[in-house]
């Protein structure tokens, strides 16, 4: 199917206005197809207009325009490349009726169909974002052609149907007919449906029906968590009504946890869909519960920013995602027991933004129109820039404007554009009106540029006085590829309003740090730095960006680095510790800190850390980046030993039952770092970790996966575990374990399961029986292992053409998956060379090219880190 260009969307928006979609879906036609009948009422603004409607049918049966059958066979009227032409429209009102059979998806796009291996029940849900509505119904598929949606559904009688509006059974129960309440005007990408024998828990709040829904095999786990989920939902709902003048704009609030969902969640109005891993069937840490709560808060924010007011085109997705990301963390901090959410943001999400912003594929938070020419380009921008960097920019904006002024601007924006579309300029105008400040200039420096600034302190002490020079180095371009100049021709450095923490070792406890004072400072982004002078002795630790209110890489002066090596875990605030850990992480990635020094800091301080998000973030970086990528193969065993020793210390600390989340995080990382199978085998045989926890299905599969990597189990062991846990998660665990076996036959079998048809050049369409999106992820995750370098060597040159062919056949979601999780684990110049050759292939899907480009840049960085250490 051809992608929609921005120019085409602008022309169509000038030509037509869409009023209403009446959609009738028949979900009773078997396992491959469903019926889709769509009636669109729209108005043409001028006579003689030519336009088109998008549709991706398995079979197009009829198209009737104003009572006239369209010729679907002639050159002028035939469906071509997913577009049905509508020619020579008269000025005024029109009605188009399209009858088609549509295909179910197994890639998480369009209408996804899943059969639960636990009980054989089938579940459906839609994912129409961002250009996949036409896989479900005929549509003028662009965000600025909003319309009312009136949806009817025929489903098996025992099923539940959910949608954007309240769903009501109509007719006799055996008919399986449902009517969804018509919506206010919404965009096509927000149309949502879920159908199947869902288990539901319902309540009412503020006069609205609230519901939680999950497949039946997960019902006990939803029941266990329902009150917590409802409590978070109610708290967020009430807080949004305190700060937003516009009330919740839809008639209900359902949250459906659906299988094999590609994203974390999707903000469909009235029916938010989440990946059903958020219904926990195994033990999780409190940080993971906090993440789930944040996603709930994030998606609810979208009901206003994204659903009530929607961007005109996809260059402004930051208006949706940055805002929801910021509000998700802030609202959670204000209304729930999760009061350290910004530490989690700093150590987990913000690094996503920093990493993305240092790759060649980076883009401005609010890119220029020419950088988002079509929907294929727009799809690539749902990344760490639009989420984490954008949220960081908003947090800095709130620091600059003040929270009340910021919220006044938001409410002005909602009032002016309710149920309509808006742009960055519209939003900035509202903030400027509320504040009286030059927000446009701020936006140009923060939202129209790329790269990460770096703030470096240089401390000078002289008797009873000391001073610090804060050196401000700009990190990027103006967003259009012009190094060293901002959009106005000035420097790329951004203005920063920061706090500087001055800390001293506690006299009676030198491994503790005590805050002497915090100093506020403003760097204007024009001058290369700022010098501050103080009386008294210099502090032991001078921490720039204390509180993490800006978006910049931070450096420590030598004296401050000594202090954190000695007393990092003794910093009193979790956000401050997150800033320091991020600094150490950035220094490793930039080649300024030996990876082994980072491991030693983790070894010294993680056993005393109390914030679970920090523990998980530091262990993950140590295990997956330092051990697997930044250190050469001969140093990897020592790194794994250090990580394992750190985990053992955490396990000893939590033997008394305190800190179950810390203990679980340590157990998981210990499993992934084990180099000898005996202890893990004992755990698996005994079904417990000594001192706890008892092994749940997730931990059993994780142990079995590591034993598979180490060659300590075989296919029969995997089959036995699958018989014990035959759930969808068990199927994924078995696929991961089979691909992780170290022998040549197992690797080839996994490879053929993933790429066989693509590598052989067979067929152009999705073939029945191909792996679902989640099974693809599981298989590629198991396949590449650093321990298997020799047996995998021949697969590296095979990977790039096979991934290109598979992406072309199965679409962007699978292309992204096979590049994100399936990129070769080898860190060498030959893999880099082959990857660069693949990027030159014009046939690669944009989704594959973008993910490969990022992987290849990360590979270059890993090679540079290794070279610097060896030098």
Q: Taking the CA atoms of the chain, what radius of gyration do you get in angstroms? A: 28
Other CB atoms within a 10 A radius of the CB of residue 247 amount to 10
pLDDT of residue 490: 40
Q: Which residues contact 829 (CB under 8 A, 6 or more apart)?
A: 863
Q: What 3-state DSSP class applies to 255?
A: strand
Q: CA–CA separation, 362 vs 854, rounded Å?
A: 9
**266-287: b or e for each residue (b if 16 or more CB lie within 10 Å)?**
bbbbbbbbbbbbbbbbbbbbbb
| CA nearest to 767, candidates 778, 756, 775, 779 | 756
Report the relative pairing of strands 49-54 and 83-89 from DSSP bridges: antiparallel
Q: Which residues contact 206 (CB under 8 A, 6 or more apart)?
A: 237, 238, 241, 248
pLDDT of residue 166: 98
| Sole residue written with tokens 């398995």 | 58
Other CB atoms within a 10 A radius of the CB of residue 635 amount to 16
- The CA distances from residue 832 to 626, 839, 856, in Å, are 19, 11, 6
| CA nearest to 290, candidates 327, 339, 325 | 339
Q: Which residues contact 707 (CB under 8 A, 6 or more apart)?
A: 677, 680, 681, 684, 713, 717
| Sole residue written with tokens 């789930």 | 292
- The CA distances from residue 77 to 37, 51, 86, 740, in Å, are 19, 12, 8, 51
Cross-strand partners of 17: 43
Omega into 192 within 30° of 0, i.e. cis?
no
Q: Are 853 and 837 in contact (CB under 8 A)?
A: no
Q: CA–CA separation, 414 vs 241, rounded Å?
A: 13
Structure tokens at 559: 């004296």
pLDDT of residue 185: 98
Count of CA atoms in the C-beta half-sphere (13 A) of 730: 16
Structure tokens at 148: 């009312």
Structure tokens at 36: 């889709």
pLDDT of residue 624: 97
Q: Tell me, rounded to whole angstroms, the distance of Cα 562 from its chain centroid.
A: 36
Structure tokens at 762: 């067979």
Structure tokens at 813: 């979601």
Cross-strand partners of 194: 125, 162
pLDDT of residue 72: 87
| Residues comprising the chain, all counted | 871
Q: CA–CA separation, 788 vs 742, rounded Å?
A: 6
Question: What are φ and ψ of residue 251, in 5° steps?
Answer: -95, -5
Q: Which helix (H) or strand (E) is 857 found in, with range?
A: helix 846-870
| Sole residue written with tokens 């079998």 | 749
Q: Which helix (H) or strand (E) is 184 found in, with range?
A: none
DSSP 711: T
Q: Collect the ranges in the chain with pLDDT lower than 70.
A: 1, 74-77, 476-492, 757-769, 871
Cross-strand partners of 443: none
pLDDT of residue 764: 36
Structure tokens at 463: 């008797």
pLDDT of residue 480: 45
Q: What 3-state DSSP class applies to 324?
A: helix
User: How far is the first Cα of the chain from the last one, in angstroms, to the nearest whole number?
Assistant: 50
Q: Are 827 and 789 in contact (CB under 8 A)?
A: no
Structure tokens at 510: 């030198």
Give 508: exposed, middle or buried? Use CB within 10 Å, 0-12, 13-18, 19+.
exposed
Q: Are 788 and 750 in contact (CB under 8 A)?
A: no
Q: CA–CA separation, 33 vs 29, rounded Å?
A: 6
Q: CA–CA separation, 768 vs 371, rounded Å?
A: 37
Q: Are 595 and 604 in contact (CB under 8 A)?
A: no
- Whole-prediction pTM: 0.95
| CA nearest to 273, candidates 332, 203, 198, 349 | 198
| CA nearest to 199, candidates 255, 269, 261, 268 | 255
At 656-704, the pLDDT tens digits run 988 999 999 999 999 999 999 999 999 999 999 999 999 999 999 999 9
| CA nearest to 144, candidates 374, 312, 316, 340 | 312
pLDDT of residue 423: 96
Question: What are φ and ψ of residue 258, in 5° steps?
Answer: -115, 155
DSSP secondary structure string for all residues of 614-673: HHHHHHHIIIIIIIIIIS-GGGHHHHHHHHHHHHHHHHHHTTTS--HHHHHHHHHHHHHH
Q: Which residues contact 172 (CB under 8 A, 6 or more apart)?
A: none
Q: CA–CA separation, 495 vs 724, rounded Å?
A: 57
pLDDT of residue 42: 98
Cross-strand partners of 530: 470
Omega into 693 within 30° of 0, i.e. cis?
yes
- Catalytic sites, residue numbers: 299
Report the relative pairing of strands 177-180 and 148-154 from DSSP bridges: antiparallel
Q: CA–CA separation, 264 vs 249, rounded Å?
A: 23
Q: Are 117 and 727 in contact (CB under 8 A)?
A: yes
Q: At what angle do helices 424-435 and 390-401 cross, to 10 degrees?
A: 20
pLDDT of residue 138: 98
pLDDT of residue 757: 57
């Amino acid at each position: 199917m051809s992608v929609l260009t921005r120019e085409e969307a602008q022309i169509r928006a000038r030509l037509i206005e869409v009023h209403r979609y009446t959609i009738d879906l028949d979900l009773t036609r078997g396992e491959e197809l469903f019926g889709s009948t769509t009636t669109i009422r729209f108005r043409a603004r001028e006579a003689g207009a030519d336009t088109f409607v998008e549709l991706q049918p398995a079979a197009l049966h009829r198209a009737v325009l104003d009572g006239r059958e369209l010729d679907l066979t002639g050159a002028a009227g035939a469906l071509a490349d997913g577009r049905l032409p509508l020619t020579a429209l008269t000025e005024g009102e029109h009605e188009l009726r399209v009858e088609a059979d549509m295909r179910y998806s197994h890639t998480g796009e369009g209408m996804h169909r899943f059969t639960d291996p636990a009980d054989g029940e089938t579940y459906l849900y839609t994912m129409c974002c961002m250009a996949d509505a036409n896989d479900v119904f005929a549509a003028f598929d662009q965000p600025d052609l909003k319309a009312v949606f009136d949806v009817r559904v025929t489903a098996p009688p025992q099923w539940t149907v959910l949608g954007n509006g309240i769903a009501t059974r109509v007719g006799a129960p055996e008919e399986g007919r449902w009517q969804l309440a018509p919506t206010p005007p919404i965009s096509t990408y927000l149309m949502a449906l879920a159908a199947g024998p869902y288990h539901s828990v319902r309540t009412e709040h503020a006069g609205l029906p609230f519901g939680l829904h999950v497949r039946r095999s997960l019902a006990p786990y939803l029941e266990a968590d329902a009150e917590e989920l409802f409590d978070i939902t109610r708290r967020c709902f009430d807080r949004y009504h305190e700060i937003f003048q516009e009330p919740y704009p839809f008639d209900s609030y359902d949250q459906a946890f659906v299988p094999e969902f590609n994203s974390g969640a999707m903000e469909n109005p009235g029916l938010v869909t989440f990946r059903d891993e958020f219904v926990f069937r195994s033990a999780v840490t409190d940080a993971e519960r906090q993440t789930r709560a944040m996603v709930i808060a994030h998606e609810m924010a979208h009901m206003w920013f994204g659903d009530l007011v929607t961007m005109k085109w996809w260059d402004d997705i930051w208006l949706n995602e940055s805002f929801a990301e910021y509000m998700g963390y802030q609202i959670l901090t204000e209304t729930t027991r999760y009061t350290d959410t910004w530490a989690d943001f700093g150590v987990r999400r913000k690094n996503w933004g920093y990493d993305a912003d240092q790759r060649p594929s980076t883009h401005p938070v609010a890119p220029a129109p020419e950088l988002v020419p079509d929907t294929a380009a727009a799809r690539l921008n749902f990344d760490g820039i639009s989420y984490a960097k954008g949220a960081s920019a908003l947090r800095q904006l709130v620091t600059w404007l003040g929270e009340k002024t910021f919220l006044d601007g938001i409410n002005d924006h909602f009032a002016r554009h309710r149920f309509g579309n808006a742009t960055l300029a519209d939003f900035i105008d509202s903030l400027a009106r509320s504040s009286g400040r030059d927000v446009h200039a701020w936006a140009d420096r923060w939202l129209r540029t790329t790269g990460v600034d770096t703030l470096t302190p240089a401390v000078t002490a002289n008797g009873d006085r000391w001073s610090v020079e804060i050196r401000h180095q700009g990190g990027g371009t103006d967003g259009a590829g012009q190094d060293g100049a901002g959009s106005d021709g000035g420097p790329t450095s951004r203005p920063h309003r920061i706090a500087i923490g001055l800390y001293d070792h506690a006299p009676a406890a030198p491994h503790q740090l005590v805050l002497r004072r915090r100093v506020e400072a403003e760097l204007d982004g024009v001058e290369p730095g700022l010098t501050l002078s103080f009386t008294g002795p210099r502090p032991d630790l001078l921490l720039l960006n204390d509180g993490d209110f800006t978006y910049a890489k931070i450096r420590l002066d030598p004296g401050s680095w000594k202090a954190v090596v000695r007393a990092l875990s003794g910093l009193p605030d979790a956000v401050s510790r997150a800033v320091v850990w991020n600094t150490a992480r950035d220094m490793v990635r930039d080649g300024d800190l030996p990876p082994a020094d980072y491991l030693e800091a983790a070894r010294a301080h993680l056993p005393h850390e109390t914030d679970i998000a920090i523990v998980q973030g530091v262990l993950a970086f140590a295990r997956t980046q330092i051990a697997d990528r930044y250190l050469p193969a001969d140093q990897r065993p020592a790194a794994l030993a250090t990580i394992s020793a750190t985990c053992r210390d955490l396990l000893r600390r939590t033997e008394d039952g305190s800190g179950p989340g810390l203990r679980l995080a340590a157990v998981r990382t210990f499993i992934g770092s084990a180099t000898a199978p005996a202890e893990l085998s004992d755990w698996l045989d005994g079904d417990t970790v000594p001192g706890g926890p008892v092994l749940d299905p997730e931990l059993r599969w994780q142990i079995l996966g590591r034993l598979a990597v180490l060659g300590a189990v075989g296919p029969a062991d995997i089959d036995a575990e699958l018989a014990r846990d035959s759930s969808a998660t068990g199927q994924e665990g078995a696929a991961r374990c089979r691909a992780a076996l170290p022998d040549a036959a197992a690797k080839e079998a996994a490879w053929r399961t993933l790429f066989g048809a693509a590598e052989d050049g067979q067929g152009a369409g999705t073939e029945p029986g191909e792996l679902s999106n989640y099974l693809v992820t599981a298989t590629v995750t198991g396949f590449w292992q650093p321990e298997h370098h020799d047996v995998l060597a021949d697969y590296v040159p095979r990977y790039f053409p096979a991934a290109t062919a598979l992406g072309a056949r199965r679409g962007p979601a699978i292309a992204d998956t096979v590049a994100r999780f399936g990129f070769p684990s080898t860190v060498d110049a030959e893999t880099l060379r082959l990857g660069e050759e693949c990027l030159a292939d014009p046939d690669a899907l944009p989704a594959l090219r973008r993910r490969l480009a990022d992987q290849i840049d990360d590979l270059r960085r890993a090679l540079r880190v290794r070279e610097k250490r060896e030098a």
